[in-house]
Each structure stands twice: as C-alpha cells, then as structure tokens.
Amino acid sequence: MLLCHLAFLPLVRHVPPLAAFPKTFFSSPISRSALRWGWHLNRRPLERRGSRRPDRQIGGSRSHSMESKTEARDPAAESPAALADGGKGVRLKLEEFNWDHSFVRELPGDPRSDTIPRQVLHACYSKVSPSAEVESPELVAWSESVAELLDLDPKEFERPDFPLIFSGALPLKGGLPYAQCYGGHQFGVWAGQLGDGRAITLGELLNSRGERWELQLKGAGKTPYSRFADGLAVLRSSIREFLCSEAMIGLGIPTTRALSLVTTGKFVSRDMFYDGNPKDEPGAIVCRVAQSFLRFGSYQIHASRGKEDLDLVRTLADYTICHHFPHIEKMSKSDDLSFEVGVEGSLIVDLTSNKYAAWSVEVAERTASLIASWQGVGFTHGVLNTDNMSVLGLTIDYGPFGFLDAFDPSYTPNTTDLPGRRYCFANQPDIGLWNIAQFTATLSAAQLISKEEANYAMERYGDKFMDEYQSIMTRKLGLSKYNKQLISTLLNNMAVDKVDYTNFFRLLSNIKADTGTPKNELLVPLKAALLDIGQERKEAWTTWVQTYIEELVASGTSDDERKAAMNSVNPKYILRNYLCQSAINAAEQGDYGEVRRLLKLMEHPYDDQPGMEKYARLPPAWAYRPGVCMLSCSS
C-alpha cells in the first residue's frame, strides 16, 4: 500500500473491491490481479538505451494551470481583439468571446435534443440548453482571476444581465450548450451511464494566448443524464464548490475553476441527511471553468458497451491527445522513452511507439502528483469515483470534501462513505491507483495499449506519488533530505493527540535549530497546537522535537531562511468546513459579504494577512455537528 511507509497508527485500510464491469470489458490481456493493484511486476527502467527515468511529465513538466496549447488552427490569435492588442491585456465583452466548439464539432453527438432520461448510445454528448427556473437572479460572487484567463473584462460582472446569462435564463451569444455522456465506478461498483445530470457546458472558447477553456453551468436544469433528479443545485453546495475551486488554486493545486455564483431566486427541495426530512433551500448555479471536463468515466462508458462502441474510445482518446496533450503527438524515437518491465526486465515498453501508452502514463503521473498535493495540505475529496477523476489531473467535482482539522488518517467528510471509509484521507493514494487501473483497463479493452503498457502506467503512478509525496513532506518540515522515520513518528504523534494538521505545520517553522534549547522550552513554539496532552505525551513530543532539531542543525540552513521556505508550503489559511458554513448561513439570509471575504482570503493562503487571524483559529464546538464537519452528496 502506498502509504504503509508512514506507519500511521492502526489505519483504516479499506481494500477496494474489484470493478464490476460487464464481462466484455475484461477481454483485454490485463489480469484481474494487475487491475486490482498492479504491483506484481518486477520492473526497472532501462539504465541506458538513452533512457531517462520519466520523473518529468512526458514531453516536459506541467504547470498547475495545465495550460496546454492547441496545435490546431488558432482562431484566438486571429481575433480582432488579439490583433489590436498584440494578445496582451485583452479585455472582452461577453459577446466578443472567441468560440471554438471542438468537442461538438469533432465528436459524435446524440441525435436527439430532448431531456428525457435515457441511455444515450454511440455518442459523447447531447445538445441541451439550460432550463432551470429563474426569478430575479443575483450575483453572489465572482472571480476576477478566472475572468483574466478568459480575457473577460471585469466590468462585465456589473452588467444587469450577467446574472440572467450565468443562470442560463438568457443564452450566451455564440455558445453551443451540451451535456457530456460518461459512466463510472461509484464506491468501487460499476454504475453504468451517469453523465452531466445537472451540468451544462455553454461552449469552448480560445483566449488570446491560444488556451482552450470550457464554461459550464452546474445546476442549470435537466439533461438526458439526470435520471430521477431535478438537475438543480442549492446555494449551500454551490458556495462550497465556488470557494473551494478558487481556494485550491491559491494553494497551488490543479483544479477546475469557478467564474461566478448566482442565485436563481427559486427554492430547491433537498434531503440533506437522506433521513426522509427534505427541506427547501435557495437554488444557485456555479459557472465552472476548465480546459476540459473529460473524466476517466468519459472513456469507460464506451468500453463498457462492448465492441460496437470501442472505436469511440479511440476517437475520444485521439481528440483528447490532439487538444490537451499535443506534445505527445510530437514525440519521436529520438526522445528515447523506453523502459524495461516484467520479470528481470524481460519486456520493453517504448512510449514513443504508442501515443496512447505515453498518454496513459502522463494521466497516471498527473493523477499521482495531484493526490500527493492533496495529502500535503490535508485535503480529502470524499467521492473519488472514476467519474470524478479528471484526465487532465485536476481536482474536479467538489461535493462533500473536507480539509483535515485534527489529524485523523481515517477521516472522511462524506456521510455516505462512513460504513467502509473507502475514500478516507489515508486511502486516497491507493484509490487513485485503483482508478488508474480502471482507466488503463478501458484503453486495453479498446486495444490502444498492451498489458505491459497498462502495468507500466500503474507502476509510474506509484513511483510518481512516492517521489512527490516525499518531496512535499520534506519541504513541509524544512528538511534538506527525506527522513522516513522522523516523518512517520511525527504523523503518529499527531494522530494520537489529534493535533490540528494545518496549524501544527505552520507553527513548526518557529522551531530554532539550536541543540542548546532547554528541554522544558522545546515545546513552547508548538504550544498552540499541542493542547490537552499529559506528561507521557509531552515526553514523546519532546523526544521528537530533539531529533528534529538535530536534523535542522545538520542541514545548515538559517532559521529565517527555513521559516520563509516552510511558510511558503504550509498554508496559514485553509477552507475549513466551518468557515464555509458560516458563509452559507449568512448567504442564505441574503448577506454575501462572508463569501466574498473568504474568496479574497483564500487567494493568498500562505501569507499572514494581518487582521484575518480569526480565520486560522481551531474549529468551534458547533463545527463538529453533522452537516458541517461531514456532509452527504445531497446538493
């Protein structure tokens, strides 16, 4: 298991059940044991055949913004606004967006345009328009940094018709709305067709830098994928999604973004605790923004339907590589990305000879890097189903998420997950691997990659996760090199004493590299985090701090330099669930000020931000009640 080296106390280690795909799905050569864990291979990279261990992304490193360039024509560069401004500082009105609807143009669609719930076969999307009932919608919050990505003039938020457009009541000029078809495993069980049940993409645009961005309204009404639901969203969950999308980018973690949040002026009935007591809540719609909302399940659905739709997996993969991984198309034999796998290196995987293999490896590595970054800040997604896994390596679909308060490896923010805690904090790395196994099985079923290539992608997931996670934890402690024993002991101590994850690491930078510090003063810098501990536990912590100081002294880094470096990776502010709830309570009474303050605060979570210290406090007692610290998927 990927986290076994940390020796977390007695962890909840829920072993995910094997996928329940139709039999035809397992026609690929991958064995069931490989699908489950993928660790049965003895493998090593070629020491030289010009080979490099691909610790970098295939084709180069990626930034957190995932700003791939399209290799097709660049209408953005040809737009009047771009030509007039040289592509710099472009500020557009909504009517001036440079649309380029590649998904609809290049992929097969549903011949029907109604919203009757049904199985949509042989198609990647259904054309459908927003249909949520709206009455005097209001703009709750907006992101100027997302507007900048889109070249949107911030003054457009002041338009009286902006809430009408971004609630779907008025069409966005030039848009081409649709809902995507996809499937997925939910809690380890194949769920069949899922799809955008309440999310409607308005279209794709190209900005002045040639970047492709997709705009999507969540909660905009029914689609053919709504099943028995109403296609709507409530203000409570919409505030959480809006704020966390922007908080994650502030933390430097790849994520979908949020342009705007509007109320619909209508109420929506929700049974928040699934206890038979629904209540009416204010309706709302978030405009989500990403370079693509493609998920693992976008490919799985077609592979699950047998031979007739397997070609769609290839078609969709070709589309994805062309528009979102164009560097893979450019690879050549000179890149020399060949690696030995199998028993004693008996087989060779050459990533330059199969673009789908190279793509699967990059998806695996992006996913591993993403989940390592979650573990670093204590983020728990809560619903890591394969339909909630982005092929771009983005955090996507913010439902019952939560950041750790007291460190608890078995923490899950999702009440639905409580029986087995499949998606708890400590399980996330293993679940990521399990999901990658389902993704590579899909490509194998479509005969895009071989058994060896699929297993190599899973291997690279494990290697990439460990490399990234160890690097993150080393930097969080301000160490010069990774120290497994020191970090394992620390995390065990934190779990025993239920130490606040965020505040502890922020305070840790105050420790001085001075072996002469009196024993009774060693814990003073950590006093605010080490609460209500007895003498025995104080001794345990004192012993750990003494060992830690010895490591700091050996590193030779000055206290000031180390503190600055540690504070740049250990946030002071995170979007704790109780902060979200405070903003929700006020917003439901018509006061949106707290939503906007949190948005501003989370733009710079690593800065001290004088005057905002109350947002770094430990959660109050009321924060541990159901509906605050833990939530359901009802939204």
Active centre residues (catalytic) = 387
Q: How far is CA 611 from the centre of its chain?
A: 30
Looking at residue 73, its amino acid is: R
User: What is d(CA 360, CA 338) in angstroms, rounded to the nearest whole number?
Assistant: 15
Q: Please, are residues 68 and 324 in contact by the beta-carbon 8 Å criterion?
A: yes
Q: How many CB atoms lie within 10 A of CB 277?
A: 8
User: In sequence order, which residues have a C-beta less than 8 Å from that of residue 195 and are 6 or more positions away?
Assistant: 120, 179, 180, 181, 182, 183, 223, 224, 225
Q: Please, are residues 262 and 164 in contact by the beta-carbon 8 Å criterion?
A: no
Q: How many CB atoms lie within 10 A of CB 20?
A: 11
Nearest to 612 by CA among 574, 586, 581, 570: 574
Q: Please, are residues 599 and 157 in contact by the beta-carbon 8 Å criterion?
A: no
SS3 label, residue 120: coil
User: What is d(CA 511, CA 562) in angstroms, rounded to the nearest whole number?
Assistant: 10
Nearest to 426 by CA among 371, 473, 477, 478: 371
30: left (phi > 0), else alpha (psi -120 to 50), else beta? Answer: beta
User: What is d(CA 57, CA 239) in angstroms, rounded to the nearest whole number?
Assistant: 34
Token output for 36? 């489950």
